[in-house]
Chain A
């Protein structure tokens, strides 16, 4: 059974800092791993999708990496801004017939001006 863990649960940084959010998963047989952002009381916004054959994906100030062998993914945010404050969730889609996403509990990021 796939389990996804995100550490830390909360993170507070000053504006302009570069930061890394961590995601680990127990079953390396994944189709892909997706990073989302969730603002309070809102739905999920997809940030990056990494296919199992890829090592990383980049979008603007965001870079996500995937290491299947170690069961880890990281989301790197460069030059953080107060508008980046949100909860960041990672989710793994596991092979084996089920199309469901298994989510971590998220990292709540606060970027202070």
Chain B
């Protein structure tokens, strides 16, 4: 069974631009969560989607948004990029409340 896939793997953007990241969960997993990882703050929860509905949201500004499609694939969008948005963005999928499986991440660099 294929694991969680994320595209693109690397991105370089300029301040003020917007970016869209994509995540495909493991087949059959309907829950997708997004996390931001930075050296200073560690891993922080962004949001979780289940059956196309956002169920939980972390403490991030409204510039961070996401959505989930009927095939469970998810996208997250960051608008008006800031230097502090440079991070590794990780997506995870799971089946019910069991083990979470993470993708390889998207490394975003904002210059």
A interface, CB within 8 angstroms of B: 31-32, 34, 36, 41-46, 49, 89, 91, 93, 97-106
Is B90 within 8 A of A43, CB to CB?
yes
Is A42 within 8 A of B55, CB to CB?
no
**What are 13 contact pairs spanning A and B, CB under 8 A?**
A41-B107, A42-B104, A42-B105, A43-B6, A44-B90, A45-B102, A46-B102, A91-B43, A99-B55, A99-B56, A99-B97, A101-B35, A105-B42
Is B102 within 8 A of A43, CB to CB?
yes
Measured between C-beta atoms, what is the minimum distance from B62 to chain A in Å?
A: 18
How many angstroms between the C-alpha atoms of A42 and B105 in the bound complex? 7
Instruction: Please tell me the number of chain B residues within 8 Å of chain A, measured between CB atoms.
Output: 26
Q: Please name all residues of chain B whose beta carbon is closer than 8 Å to the beta carbon of A98 when the two chains form the complex.
A: 56
Q: Please name all residues of chain B whose beta carbon is closer than 8 Å to the beta carbon of A101 when the two chains form the complex.
A: 33, 35, 43, 45, 92, 100
Contact A32 to B43, CB < 8 A, known contacts A44-B90, A100-B33, A100-B58:
no
Summarize B's interface: helix, strand, loop or mixed: strand
Q: Please name all residues of chain A whose beta carbon is closer than 8 Å to the beta carbon of B31 when the two chains form the complex.
A: 99
Q: Please name all residues of chain B whose beta carbon is closer than 8 Å to the beta carbon of A32 when the two chains form the complex.
A: 97
Q: Which residue of A lies closest to B43 (CB)?
A: A103
- Residues of chain B in range 43-59 having any CB-CB distance to chain A below 8 Å: 43-45, 48, 55-56, 58
How many angstroms between the C-alpha atoms of A31 and B55 in the bound complex? 17
Q: Please name all residues of chain A whose beta carbon is closer than 8 Å to the beta carbon of B88 when the two chains form the complex.
A: 41
Contact A36 to B48, CB < 8 A, known contacts A100-B56, A103-B42, A106-B42:
no
CB 8 Å contact bits of B25-42 with A (1 = contact, 0 = none)? 000000101010000001
Other than A49-B99, A99-B48, give 16 A-B pairs with Cβ distance below 8 A: A36-B102, A41-B88, A43-B4, A43-B90, A43-B103, A44-B102, A46-B102, A99-B31, A99-B33, A99-B56, A99-B97, A100-B33, A100-B56, A101-B45, A101-B92, A102-B45
